Structure 1
Amino acid sequence: MRDYIKKDPWNIIEEGFDPALNRISESIFSIGNGKMGQRANFEEKYSGSSLRGSYVAGVYYPDKTRVGWWKNGYPEYFAKVLNATNWIGINVSVDGEELDLATAQVAGFKRVLNMQEGILQRSFVATLASGKQVEVQSTRFTSIVDTDNAVIRYTVKALNFSGKLTFSPLLDLNVVNQDSNYDEQFWVEISRTAAQGSAAITGETKKTAFHVACAFKLALEHDGDDASYTIAPFSQEKLVGNTVNCNIEQGQSVSLIKYVAVISSLYADKATIQANAETSAAAAYSKGFAAMLSEQRAAWAKKWAECDITIEGDVAAQQAIRFNILQMNQTYTGEDERLNIGPKGFTGEKYGGVTYWDTEAYCLPFYLKTADPKVARQLLVYRYKHLGRAIENAAKLGFKHGAALYPMVTINGEECHNEWEITFEEIHRNGAMSFAIYNYINHTGDVGYLAEYGLEVLIAISRFWRQRVQWSDRRNGYIMLGVTGPNEYENNVNNNWYTNLLAQWTLNYTRESLAQVKASDPKRYAEIVVKTQFGGHEDEEAIWADVAAKIVLPVDAPTGVFIQHDGFMDKELLPMTAIPKGEYPIHKHWSWDRILRSCYIKQADVLQGIYTFEANYDKETIKKNFDFYEPLTVHESSLSPCIHSILASSLGYEDLAYKFYLRTARLDLDDYNHDTDDGLHITSMAGTWMSVVEGFGGVRVRQGTLHLNPSLPKQWQGYSFRITFRGSLLKVTVASNAIMIENESDLGLMLYVSGKEMRSPARQLLTVAR
């Protein structure tokens, strides 16, 4: 754990420059707008250790899988969201001496991510080898109003000299992915141009042939007398820019404003894409920095009004939750059904920027309660559009009749994960897809989604589960062999309780959904029957009912605990406190063989199932399982602490709930797992929000009705959060003696507060004593 980020309710602050922390800060101070994102690399040249990263949503490359062996059905490639054109570059020199923070003496360094406005600021004083001192201030943001645009204002002040100042703003396509399997460069230059005060370059990805065009237009400001500038364009392979020379007097400042456009061929015709980028950069230039900044502030203010969480009396917790909310909103906006959420978002290359089951299990609840329903709907439509590929994925593994296996990792619907025990066996991801459909409809009331898209997906997934199980005479039930549950520290196990539970639930929910659509929309039902050839090869509904009724869900008779998988209770069940402190994390200190034979759990597994279907279990059952499995869990997945925090809250384990909340909330800010340098844990950030709203706030949606059962951690004086539910926007405030629900919409709402039915009238405040 590190503790160098200053505590502040609305800002992420780093004071002092430590090169050893630079890559961590590059991740933490990342910015984005849903279409593109940028790590917090320096504008000026930096020869020290850095992970350069500028990412464009939906643009990827199929990097050939690097394994020493091959199996039938194994993915041929690992898709990667690519490091794209470096648009932030502004090299700086003073009388020919280059500014480089790796070689200069740096004082007064401060970096601030203003979360309220989505703006990154940096300032420092650098002393060059010659003794000349400059003070630098930079401000940059990716616009959430004009989402093709970003802007940088870069100011240099001469502190102890007069001389010649040179800026070299550039666009650099000569970029690499550090996670490239074969050290390959993925971009080919298509065109470039440079003129006085502007430049543009277009690259094409190998194999996938995406085009990305970047352009800039410059403005210059001087705080002294009228200054003379010379601006000369330069152009060479994969690099374009301008060289700006000006004279600067001691005490004077010169500012370069770089208006940038980044456009991909997802949104523009390839034949005109570079012209479009040039036009967009010019439009930003015409609008001006002050107007763009004003619009940015207003747009973020509107976002925060819908999703902010306030915490009184705990600045560390306040800062952390806003940081997580900020990054979620910078990563995904729901405006394009072709886009999804990578575990690192726009902040790094690990996991390739591709989509996992994390989206449905962790991110969907955040967007369901903090945004217009169409945002969450887009996430589901994304999976529907990939249904054909999911059926192809299953067919590669031998499944028939339209059975679908959604990929563990994807960007275009095709499986591209590179580890066999995950690719072939971690099939519980299919259940996350089916539950997401239910979760969306339960929250929004959009029952039409089932007929329009959802039922086709449910049928295909149910066909997979029906074929994946097999009958066991010995167990007198259906079993599922050779799977990996959420706990990836145990592979190739039989009858993983969580996986079997999801299969059972999906089969039952699909049958219910068939009946619902048949009754409500018989025409659409008939279309689906024909399209899917439903019931054409067997009596599917009857068989699904039989499998659901007889699937094995083992329970340990002496304790009443659900057995994680066959053989788990035969292990030596020692708590994680038995592991010597110097051996954490175990995946870095133990052999894989030792991990697999141990009882230690990477993340919630049985408890993931209990969290998902909490309403089906009484408190005693939840407590038995939590008390048994939590001490065995090492939480070496970023997705683990939030689930434990939520369940601990529901059980009244207040200290444990807070401990897990703080760990998940400050996972990246404090670099808990020593891996923030390769990017933030975006999907786990959604879990942080869940820990507050579903955990401490006790928010549940049961049979289409909102329930609140808040608790107040003793470390907090109070807290509030906003949620949207079926057209109502509620601000819920929890104090030591009362729960206040302010309905900020024109729609009244019936809900349950601490088990009692109440009405929250439109535009009124409801106060309930605690």
Structure 2
Amino acid sequence: MMSYTLGKGEYENWIVSETTFSPDALAKVESIMYLGNGYLGLRSATEEPYLKERRNFLVSGTFNKFDEFEVTELPNLADVTRLDIRIDGDRFSLELGGTDNYVRQLNLKTAELIRSFDWTTKQGKKLRFNFRRFVSLDNLHLIGMKLEVESLSDSVEVSFESGINAQMSNTGSQHFHEGEKRIYDKRFVELIQTTTESKVDIALNTVHKIVINGKELTEDPDMNIERRNVSLNYNIHLEKGDKLEMEKLTTVYTSRDKAFDTSDYQLQTLRDKALADLRASYNKGYEQLFKESKQAWLDNVWNKYKFEVNSEDPYDQLAIRFALYHLTAMTPAHDNRMGIGAKALSGEGYKGHSFWDTEVFILPFFIYANPEVAKSLLKYRYFGLQGARKKAKENGYKGAMYPWEAAWPTDGEVTPVWGAVDIVTGKQTKIWSGFIEQHITADIANAVNQYYSITGDEAFMDDYGYEMIFDTAIFWASRLEWNEETQEYHINNVIGPDEYKEHVNNNAFTNYMAHFNLQLAMKYYKKLQEEKQALFSKLNNKLNLEAVNKEWQEKSEKLYLPEPRSLDKVIPQDDSYLSLKELDLSKYKAQDKVGGLFKEYNLEQVNQMQITKQADVVILLYLMEQQFTHDIKKANFDYYEPKTTHDSSLSLSTHAIIANDLEENEMAYSLFKKATEIDLGPVMHSSDEGVHAASIGGIWQVAVLGFAGIRVLDGELHINPRLPKHWIDMQFTFYWRGQALSVNITQENLDIVAEDKKPVSFISFGKKYQFDNQINVHLS
């Protein structure tokens, strides 16, 4: 059972808790309480093992391909968290004996995982356990663990085995060669792993410190080296009232780290660094290392974003803090060659691959709140141009055709070909997204433009952005198909955001976004030609811009853009959607677990119904809102919302924002709440495969771009707040054109402080304001 009210004092609305242990519902807590710092992610499995556990230790960028018939994925590193504990010789497990006062909790503010309980052996002996764990934000390579065991009633023998266990896999796929193992000084444990195909070296080191009643244990442990496993065994006698403390510190370094990914790389250098870091960390100890990490979270996250919501329901504040925690934990801010996985670093789901989720649902947070990180994420896409150009060529197109699923930037398309079972045929369903879900190319171009509009970062555009926009436009120009009958260009045989509609023609979202991509390219072509002739010449030589600009002009003018029907102002999602039969989705929209539809229908049948998996036309209304009137927004929201199952976690946030724009306040908040409950809610199997990264980004989007009403339209900042009626106020900091703006919004007032006292102009509910220090706007 989950609880969100255990935080007291300074930690009120900071604590995510599990108050009842269930061996059948381990995965949810492992996921939503996972620890990470963008470099590594550590799923929060319990120290003692259970049958249904999922132990995942993932490091960004270490992709490997198991064999030629599988796609590349983030490999599951050796496990360092398991402790095989025995009490009086019997295996310790919460499935045995008796447990009282159980609680496992993640403190979002400190990023520490804590688990505590009283446990009674089958002989009636009582012990008190306390487990602590953190992944450092100060030292990205460091994991800290601490165990405390106190004997409450009798003398007892406690023993445990701990080390590095490389007998792990990715649900069966083994990504590592058998590596060298060693124990230094009977204390420092080392294991080397090397991926089978990509040849990435992993250096893992761990060390233990044992203290009994405040005095360090000096007896040597038993040492064990086995196949893919190296460990130490400790045996300790406790009298009644005695307390055992064990600290375990681990470091991980890889040859993908920028410091080692060099032409003169040597494995020994990597090993020496990893061991030296562990020795230095050992001298500091758990408490000091945790203090340093806690301070890093305070400085780099909580004091930077300054996000507070004063709501009559305190859960709202916790939900937003949960989002900020995970946005930090999932993002490889340390390395611009790496993206964000759809399940973050919380599990093997989607194999660590990056989707459009990043640009549409996660990147906006960083553009507004931490532009340097946003720039890093966009550079990852720039480095991915090589793979995008490869995919375009393989498919018979020109320019850059971004992969639907991306891993290492140069890998190109890595979407698996086969997926879940077809309920009718019993065969595996073919995954067409990697072949024909192509809107991601325009999504990335739009994200580049969004970053530039908000930050004004001209240097980024010169070095990366313009080339990305031009090359994606070259792709679209080559992708368009001429329809002789209508004298228009069409985009046929695609999948739009609604992945329940495959092989459709003229998906509205895809067509409008492609058109926008072409328009951007022409706009920036003209700008560079007039203002940056040297850069224009460079890119012209590389991409033949003078020739393709004429093609952009001609084709964009004749590209078919589905218009609202005169009857009801509804934009056809694609050429056939509005002619399909309808189905009452009430029971599917109310289901606890997504995908219930496919227990009754297969995808081919769903393809013939007006059923939408996730926001499609509705997200077009959001991303391209300047092109649509309020009436068109309302007509399409009212038409498509009842037909949308929200089976994709990224859907609810978009619908919440549009509902808020339409002043459907109660619906907007309800959709926001549902979005937060995808991971935080009471359903205990909603997050088994990992957290929903896009939905987490969407939580922030609803709060800031929705309720606070912050948008950038045609280069101008708009702030149109519409807070939920039970939100008393909200405060946060965002960046506009390089300056931090601190915002405070109540039901009646909008207050903004320009931290650098530079001039700011913005529009609020149609009226333009200018200030250079601070301003108060009364919200009528």
**Same fold by TM-score, threshold 0.5 exceeded?**
yes
Give the fraction of aligned pairs with identical amino acids, expressed as a percent: 27
- Aligned residue for 2:177? 188
Query: Helix, strand or coil for the counterpart of 2:24?
Result: helix
- Aligned residue for 1:418? 416
**167 and 761 in structure 1: CA distance in 2 versus 1, 3 angstrom threshold:** farther
Query: Helix, strand or coil for the counterpart of 1:597?
Result: coil
- 1:624-677 deviations in Å (ceiling 9; x for gaps): 211211121111110100011111111101011011101111211116594311
Q: State the alpha-carbon separation in 1 of the partners of residues 650 and 478 from structure 2.
A: 30
Q: State the alpha-carbon separation in 2 of the partners of residues 706 and 639 from structure 1.
A: 25
**766 and 219 in structure 1: CA distance in 2 versus 1, 3 angstrom threshold:** farther
Q: Is this contact kept in 2: 1:477–1:550, CA < 8 A?
A: yes
- Aligned residue for 1:558? 567
Q: Is this contact kept in 1: 2:581–2:608, CA < 8 A?
A: no
Q: Is this contact kept in 2: 1:215–1:261, CA < 8 A?
A: yes
Residue from 402, 409, 412 that aligns with 1:406:
402
Q: State the alpha-carbon separation in 2 of the partners of residues 362 and 138 from structure 1.
A: 35
Letter in 2 for 1:551: L
Q: State the alpha-carbon separation in 2 of the partners of residues 3 and 396 from structure 1.
A: 49
- Alignment of 1:50 onto 2:53: yes
Q: Is this contact kept in 2: 1:760–1:766, CA < 8 A?
A: no
Question: Could you tell me how far 1:88 is from its partner in structure 2?
Answer: 1.6
- 1:201-241 deviations in Å (ceiling 9; x for gaps): 11011111111111112222222677664423322221112
1:73-472 paired onto structure 2 within 5 Å:
77-178=70-171, 183-195=172-184, 196-223=186-213, 229-267=219-257, 268=260, 269=265, 270-302=267-299, 303-307=301-305, 308-371=307-370, 373-400=371-398, 403-413=399-409, 414-419=412-417, 420-472=431-483
- Aligned residue for 1:643? 654
Using the TM superposition, name which of 704-713 and 426-435 deviates more.
Answer: 704-713
- Aligned residue for 2:427? none
1:585-664 paired onto structure 2 within 5 Å:
585-664=596-675
**620 and 548 in structure 1: CA distance in 2 versus 1, 3 angstrom threshold:** same
Q: Is this contact kept in 1: 2:498–2:616, CA < 8 A?
A: yes
**458 and 626 in structure 1: CA distance in 2 versus 1, 3 angstrom threshold:** same
Unpaired runs of 5+ residues, structure 1, are 66-75
Q: State the alpha-carbon separation in 2 of the partners of residues 282 and 391 from structure 1.
A: 45
Question: Could you tell me how far 1:522 is from its partner in structure 2?
Answer: 1.2
- Aligned residue for 1:739? 750
Letter in 1 for 2:557: A
Q: Is this contact kept in 2: 1:364–1:376, CA < 8 A?
A: yes
- Aligned residue for 1:37? 41
Q: State the alpha-carbon separation in 2 of the partners of residues 154 and 173 from structure 1.
A: 22
Question: Could you tell me how far 1:86 is from its partner in structure 2?
Answer: 0.7
Q: State the alpha-carbon separation in 1 of the partners of residues 216 and 31 from structure 2.
A: 39
Letter in 1 for 2:579: D
Q: Is this contact kept in 2: 1:727–1:747, CA < 8 A?
A: no
Query: Helix, strand or coil for the counterpart of 2:221?
Result: strand
**211 and 225 in structure 1: CA distance in 2 versus 1, 3 angstrom threshold:** closer
**64 and 239 in structure 1: CA distance in 2 versus 1, 3 angstrom threshold:** closer
- Alignment of 1:725 onto 2:718: no
Question: Could you tell me how far 1:135 is from its partner in structure 2?
Answer: 1.1
Letter in 2 for 1:383: R
- 1:135-179 deviations in Å (ceiling 9; x for gaps): 11111111101111111111111122213322322111110112x
Query: Helix, strand or coil for the counterpart of 1:491?
Result: coil
Q: Provide TM-score, normalisation by structure 1.
A: 0.93
Query: Helix, strand or coil for the counterpart of 2:482?
Result: strand
Q: State the alpha-carbon separation in 2 of the partners of residues 672 and 90 from structure 1.
A: 29
Query: Helix, strand or coil for the counterpart of 2:700?
Result: helix
Q: State the alpha-carbon separation in 1 of the partners of residues 284 and 760 from structure 2.
A: 43
Using the TM superposition, name which of 684-693 and 584-593 deviates more.
Answer: 584-593
Question: Could you tell me how far 1:759 is from its partner in structure 2?
Answer: 3.7
- Aligned residue for 1:504? 515
Query: Helix, strand or coil for the counterpart of 1:326?
Result: helix
- 1:268-309 deviations in Å (ceiling 9; x for gaps): 342322222111111111222222222222211121122224
Query: Helix, strand or coil for the counterpart of 1:501?
Result: helix
- Aligned residue for 1:62? 65
Using the TM superposition, name which of 337-346 and 752-761 deviates more.
Answer: 752-761
Q: Is this contact kept in 2: 1:309–1:722, CA < 8 A?
A: no
Letter in 2 for 1:495: N
Using the TM superposition, name which of 626-635 and 598-607 deviates more.
Answer: 626-635
- 1:15-68 deviations in Å (ceiling 9; x for gaps): 12122221111111101011101111112x323310111111111222457xxx
Question: Could you tell me how far 1:197 is from its partner in structure 2?
Answer: 2.1
Using the TM superposition, name which of 464-473 and 654-663 deviates more.
Answer: 464-473
Query: Helix, strand or coil for the counterpart of 1:677?
Result: coil
Q: State the alpha-carbon separation in 2 of the partners of residues 124 and 360 from structure 1.
A: 42
- Alignment of 1:14 onto 2:14: no
Q: State the alpha-carbon separation in 2 of the partners of residues 323 and 224 from structure 1.
A: 36
Letter in 2 for 1:265: S
Supply the RMSD in Å over aligned alpha carbons. Answer: 2.1
Query: Helix, strand or coil for the counterpart of 1:667?
Result: helix
Letter in 1 for 2:243: S
Q: State the alpha-carbon separation in 1 of the partners of residues 643 and 392 from structure 2.
A: 34
Unpaired runs of 5+ residues, structure 2, are 8-12, 418-430
Question: Could you tell me how far 1:721 is from its partner in structure 2?
Answer: 2.6
Q: Is this contact kept in 2: 1:168–1:244, CA < 8 A?
A: yes
Q: Is this contact kept in 2: 1:165–1:246, CA < 8 A?
A: yes
Q: Is this contact kept in 1: 2:595–2:647, CA < 8 A?
A: no
Letter in 1 for 2:195: T
- Aligned residue for 2:428? none
Q: Count residues with an aligned counterpart.
A: 747
Query: Helix, strand or coil for the counterpart of 2:545?
Result: coil
Q: Is this contact kept in 2: 1:480–1:495, CA < 8 A?
A: yes
1:686-701 paired onto structure 2 within 5 Å:
686-701=697-712
Letter in 2 for 1:434: A
Query: Helix, strand or coil for the counterpart of 1:474?
Result: coil
Q: Is this contact kept in 2: 1:7–1:319, CA < 8 A?
A: no
Question: Could you tell me how far 1:732 is from its partner in structure 2?
Answer: 2.0
- Aligned residue for 1:768? 778
Question: Could you tell me how far 1:769 is from its partner in structure 2?
Answer: 4.6
Q: State the alpha-carbon separation in 1 of the partners of residues 157 and 353 from structure 2.
A: 46
Q: Is this contact kept in 1: 2:589–2:646, CA < 8 A?
A: no
Letter in 2 for 1:328: L
Q: Is this contact kept in 1: 2:588–2:645, CA < 8 A?
A: no
